[in-house]
A = this chain, B = another copy of it.
Amino acid sequence: MRALYINSGTASLRNLPRPRRPAGWARIQVLASGICNTDLELLRGYYGFRGVPGHEFVGRVLETDAGDDRWSGKRVTGEINLTCRGLGYIRLCDLCARGLASHCRRRKVLGIVNHPGAHAEEITLPVCNLHAVPARISDHAAVFAEPLAAACQVLKQVRFAPRDRVLVLGDGKLGLLLAQVLHRELRKTARTVLLAGHHREKLALARRWGVDTRLSGARLGRREWDVVIEATGSPTGLAEALERVRPRGTVVMKSTIHGMLQAATAPWIVDEITLVGSRCGPMDQALRLLARGVEVESLIEDVLPLARALQALRQAARRGSRKILLALDA
């Protein structure tokens, strides 16, 4: 099968053998996949990655265990973390055993850590990782289930209070999803959900969803916001978040920046700030939101066939680009 392959920081299209399906797993035809900033970081050589990237996808189940026809032909997306249960261990690791499966000590991650990803014609995943995609969600929208789940994770981790002022820093793809989700879910309780970013056209998009926006660099105030979500993708984002948040407020760290942070920690301590690292989230909630009309298709910049994956990567790497999809129907 055709697949995008990264080796030592170089991407190429390759012909690879179709993936072997272990018992209890599904073989899935990829209908569409999304290029994520993480894919670009893999290409830049982080994690010493070698393999097929891609972890945002929608597909159709081609094959499962004989006698198990619950999933055959179903349109699915999937949890990207492969954990003790899916990997077939009978004795769970301590983290799986205490309900922290997304941090499993044996964790593999679709298209990121030791498991071939979705920028390919086919993938395999444990059946317990699958989520059926409701018919009303388009293929293109379903690709957003994974990043949307990462946005929903903030709702699980932070106890928002009535009248909170919430600031999302960064109008990249994740920042836009975060702003939309938080605006929808908190609009009856929060005082403000404001998105601050550098791109006028992206902020205009967020305003269409009803989100308040402001150009970065405008006056956002010091030590004022109850909750600040750092999604800038920039090494200076955390310092800005810490400047904006009020004493005893919360900063959610969404940008996995590579390289070192340099910061004075004393002000966080004196101001009793809570910093929360935040990663993958609940895909069931994301699919419910997509079914209820969270708007993601306007985030798509282009849809290309897998054969043009190298061009897609270049396009996704351009500053200010929106989401690039690879799709069977492109």
Contacts and interface: CB of A to CB of B under 8 A. Distances in A.
Interface of A: 95, 100, 103, 157, 238, 246-248, 253-266, 268-279
B268 A272 contact: no
A100 B262 contact: no
B246 A257 contact: no
A100 B259 CA distance: 35
A15 to B, nearest CB: 33
A17 to B, nearest CB: 31
Contact of A100 (B248, B254, B268): B248
A10 to B, nearest CB: 23
Given A103-B247, A103-B248, A277-B274, A256 B269 contact: yes
Contact of A264 (B103, B157, B261): B261
B274 A266 contact: no
Q: Which of A268, A269, A278 has the most CB of B within 10 A?
A: A269
Contact of A262 (B157, B247, B260): B260
29 contacts: A95-B246, A100-B246, A100-B247, A103-B246, A103-B272, A157-B272, A157-B274, A253-B265, A253-B268, A255-B269, A257-B265, A257-B266, A258-B264, A258-B266, A259-B264, A260-B263, A261-B263, A261-B264, A268-B275, A268-B277, A270-B277, A271-B277, A272-B276, A272-B277, A272-B278, A274-B276, A274-B277, A275-B275, A275-B276
A43 to B, nearest CB: 17
B265 A270 contact: no
A160 to B, nearest CB: 15
A273 B265 contact: no
Contacts of A253: 265, 268-269
Given A261-B262, A261-B263, A279 B275 contact: no
Query: Copies per complex?
Result: 2
A321 B65 CA distance: 67
A278 B274 CA distance: 9
A100 B161 CA distance: 15
A16 to B, nearest CB: 28
Given A274-B275, A277-B274, A256 B260 contact: no
A262 B100 CA distance: 28
A279 B248 CA distance: 10
Contact of A103 (B238, B260, B271): B271
Contacts of A258: 264, 266
A292 B268 CA distance: 33
A296 to B, nearest CB: 23
A279 B266 CA distance: 10
Contacts of A255: 269
A265 B248 contact: no
A257 B265 CA distance: 7
A263 B100 CA distance: 25
Nearest to A259: B264
A151 to B, nearest CB: 14
B272 A279 contact: yes
Nearest to A272: B277
